[in-house]
Amino acid sequence: INKADYIFCLDVDSKFHGRWGTESLGGLVAVIHPGYYRDDRSRFPYERRPISRAFVAPGDGDFYYCGGAFGGLIQEVHHLAKTCRENFEDDALEGIEAAWQEESHLNRYMWTNKPSKILSPEYLWQDFKARNPEIKIIRFSGVVKNYAAIRPN
């Protein structure tokens, strides 16, 4: 039986546009969110309520990572997923939902467990956004969605 060393979690409503190769491998891999990579961290949409387990204090944080693309060594990703799930469920038991749900918990995890590899926004762009001049290649991108049809609230 073949065994894998790495696993990546990717949004299903996304599309590959370019090569995604071994340059993306690392122990714990995060992708900088395309909507915030030009912003100062004071503008990142971290969960700012201290009652949430996803809380990142003002002045803290390195980057804002997207929840639609992350990965790394299987044991690292398993620990990330287990921790985020437990924190998400514990918040829910107390009636708390983080600002950006799972993405908020991912960002909290990455703040306290620094990724060994950080990928640029070209690894998860957004099809509805124009390409900024510094983005030369879009490797993976979220497709345009009809949110009115898929989100009833």
Residue 12 assigned to a binding site:
yes
Residue 94 assigned to a binding site:
no
Q: What CA–CA distance (Å, rounded) separates 114 from 29?
A: 9
- Residue 103 annotated as catalytic: yes
Catalytic residue among 23, 86, 89, 103: 103
Q: What CA–CA distance (Å, rounded) separates 99 from 113?
A: 20
Residue 13 assigned to a binding site:
yes
Residue 33 assigned to a binding site:
yes
Query: In this structure, what is the dihedral angle of CA atoms 69, 72, 76, 79, given to the nearest 10 degrees?
Result: 20
Residue 103 assigned to a binding site:
yes
Q: What CA–CA distance (Å, rounded) separates 129 from 10?
A: 19
Of 40, 16, 19, 35, the residue nearest 128 (C-alpha)? 35
Question: Which residues are marked as active site?
Answer: 103
Annotated binding-site residue numbers for UDP-N-acetyl-alpha-D-galactosamine: 11-13
Annotated binding-site residue numbers: 11-13, 33, 103
Annotated binding-site residue numbers for Mn(2+): 11, 13
